């Protein structure tokens, strides 16, 4: 992916059946390419759907970026507790997942990059 796009990859994992790349802050344009050509080429070469998330040192902003394209009103850091405010109940259900499966995976991913106390969905 780095060779194809020129974007620096900070992390890579599978999430919701997509190969997810966390890329360095400021490299989103490189990763996407003009008209998303780089993503299209990478999906073809790697044989997977791809999601790209731009890294940022701000925990709340990173989590907001990660949750896109879901309808999330906001993510804010309340003294180490990351509070996700979805726009509707459907989005809340998607974030949490059946039996809390999705939110637990999100917590695992966040812990790879940040220290935080917990994540809540309001």
What pLDDT is recorded for position 74? 97
pTM exceeds 0.95: no
Q: What pLDDT score was predicted for residue 116? A: 84
pLDDT digit string (tens) for 60-92?
999 999 999 999 999 999 999 999 999 999 999
In this predicted model, what pLDDT tens digit does every residue of 31-58 receive, in sequence order? 999 999 999 999 999 999 999 999 999 9
Q: How far is CA 37 from CA 20, 40, 45, in A?
A: 17, 5, 12
Helix (H, G, I), strand (E, B) or coil at 12: strand
Sorting pLDDT into bands at 50, 70 and 90, what band is 112? very high
Residue (of 10, 20, 8, 7) closest to 48 by Cα position = 20
Write out pLDDT tens, residues 2-30: 999 999 999 999 988 899 999 999 999 99
pLDDT band at 114 (very low <50, low <70, confident <90, very high): very high
- Residue 58 confidence (pLDDT): 96
Counting runs of H as helices and runs of E as strands, what totals does the chain give?
6, 6
DSSP H or E run through 98 = none
């Amino acid at each position: 992916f780095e060779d194809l796009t020129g974007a620096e990859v900070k992390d890579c994992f599978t999430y919701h059946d997509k190969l997810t790349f966390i890329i360095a802050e400021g490299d989103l344009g490189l990763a996407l390419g003009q008209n998303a050509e780089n993503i299209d080429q990478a999906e073809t070469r790697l044989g997977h759907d791809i999601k790209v998330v731009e890294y940022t040192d701000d925990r709340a902003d990173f989590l907001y970026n990660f949750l896109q394209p879901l309808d999330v009103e906001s993510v804010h850091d309340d003294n180490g507790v990351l509070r996700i405010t979805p726009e509707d109940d459907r989005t809340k259900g998607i974030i949490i997942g059946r039996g809390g499966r999705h939110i637990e995976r999100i917590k695992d991913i966040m812990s790879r990059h940040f220290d935080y106390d917990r994540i809540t969905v309001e």
